[in-house]
Amino acid sequence: MPSTAPSVPGRTAPSFINQMSRMNSPENDRTLDALIRLLGEEGAHFEIIRRRLVEIGSPALPALERCVREGASLISERAGQIIESIRLEALDEEWQRYAEKEPCSLEEGVFLLARFAYPEMNSEIYRTKIDRMAEVLRRRIQPDSSPPAVIRTLNRYLFEELLFSGNRENYYLPENSYINTVLDTKKGIPISLSVVMLLLAERLNLPLHGIGMPGHFLVSWSDERDEIYIDPFHEGRMLTRGEIESQLPGDEKGLIAQYLRKVSTRQIITRMIRNLIHIYTEGGETEKGSWLERFHKRVHST
C-alpha cells in the first residue's frame, strides 16, 4: 500500500477530503477506501483524515485493521493510532451513559474502568470468579453469626486462603487499580481491595460500605447495632472509631465524623479514576491521563 496520497485529477488532497466530509453516507465503501489511501498524507492533511476516520468510527475498523497488518510502516502505525482513538471515543460514550444512571453500579463502573487498559478483557470471566468466591463465603457464614464473626470469615478467606494483600512494594503500579488484574494477582491498593470486598458484600447482602479517608480507604460494617471499620490493605484488620481517630494528626481529629462518612458508588469510581490520572501523569503518560480526565469529568459532573 502506498505511503503517500495518490493524485486525484483536478483536485488537491484537502479539497477532496472536504468534499468527502460533506457526503451523506461517510460509511460508503468508496469514501472509506479513499480515506484509507490518504493515510500517508503529511501534516494538517493527515489530521483532517484522522478526524474523519474517527468520526466514522467502528465501520472503519476492518479497513484500518487491514492497514495495521499489511500497510507500509507509517500507514500501519497511523492506522493503529486511529483504531485506538476510535476505541477510546466509544469508551467515552459508554462512560457518559454510565454517568447518567442513578444509582450507578459499582461493578459496572470498575469493569468499565478496566477496559481502558484492557480492551480485550472478558468481564464475564471475572464476574464469575467473584460469584464463585461469594458462594464459598455463603457456605461458611452462619445465619446467626455476629458481625465480627462474619468479618473474620471474610478475612480468613480473602487474606489467608486466597492471599490477597496490599501491594506495598509497587504501590503506584496502574495494575493495582484495575479489578481484573487485582483479581489475577491478588494485589492491590486500599481502594481496589476494598472494592473486591464490597462486590462480595453485594452478593452476600452484607451491610458493607466504602469509607474514603484522606490518603486511605476503608470498609465499614454498618447496621442498626454495629459500626465496625475494616482495613483491607492491612489484611482486613478491624478498627474502632477511637483507633482511627488516634491515628489522625491533632488538627484533624475534629474531622473524624466527616472522614468516616459512607461514600457513594460515584465517589468510589471518581476516586479510582483520580488515582490513575495521578499515576499516568506522574509517569509521563499524559495522553492516558487526558482520556481519564474526560471520563472523570463525565462521572463527577453528573
CA angle 142–217–232, rounded 5-degree value:
40
Residue 178 pLDDT: 99
* Phi, psi values for residue 231, rounded to 5°: -110, 90
User: Which letter does DSSP use for residue 155 in this model?
Assistant: H
CA distances from 12 to 18, 193, 246 (A): 10, 57, 72
| pLDDT tens digits, one per residue of 275-301 | 999 999 999 999 999 999 999 999 986
Residue 1 pLDDT: 40
Residue 30 pLDDT: 76
Residue 75 pLDDT: 84
What distance lies between CA 41 and its chain's CA centroid?
A: 34
| pLDDT tens digits, one per residue of 127-153 | 999 999 999 999 999 999 999 999 999
CA distances from 275 to 17, 99, 172, 256 (A): 41, 18, 9, 23
Find residue 237's DSSP bridge partners: 231
Cis amide bond preceding 103, omega within 30: yes
* Phi, psi values for residue 119, rounded to 5°: -65, -25
Q: Helix, strand, coil: what percent of the chain each, to 5?
A: 65, 10, 25
Residue 10 pLDDT: 35
Residue 12 pLDDT: 39
What distance lies between CA 90 and its chain's CA centroid?
A: 14
Q: For 205-240, give one letter per residue: b (16+ CB within 10 A) or e.
A: ebebbbbbbeebbbbbbbeeeeebbbbbbbbbeebe
Residue 8 pLDDT: 36
Measured between alpha carbons, how far is 238 from 149 in angstroms, rounded to an integer?
Answer: 11
- Positive or negative, the CA dihedral 205, 211, 217, 221 is negative
Residue 28 pLDDT: 59
Averaged pLDDT in 10-residue chunks for the chain of 302 residues: 37 40 51 80 76 88 88 84 93 97 96 98 98 99 95 98 98 98 99 99 98 96 90 97 90 91 97 98 97 97 62
Find residue 8's DSSP bridge partners: 11
Instruction: Confirm if 198 and 263 have CB atoms less than 8 A apart.
Output: no
Domain span(s) for CATH 3.10.620 in the chain: 106-301
In this structure, whether the domain defined by 106-301 belongs to CATH 3.10.620 is answered with yes
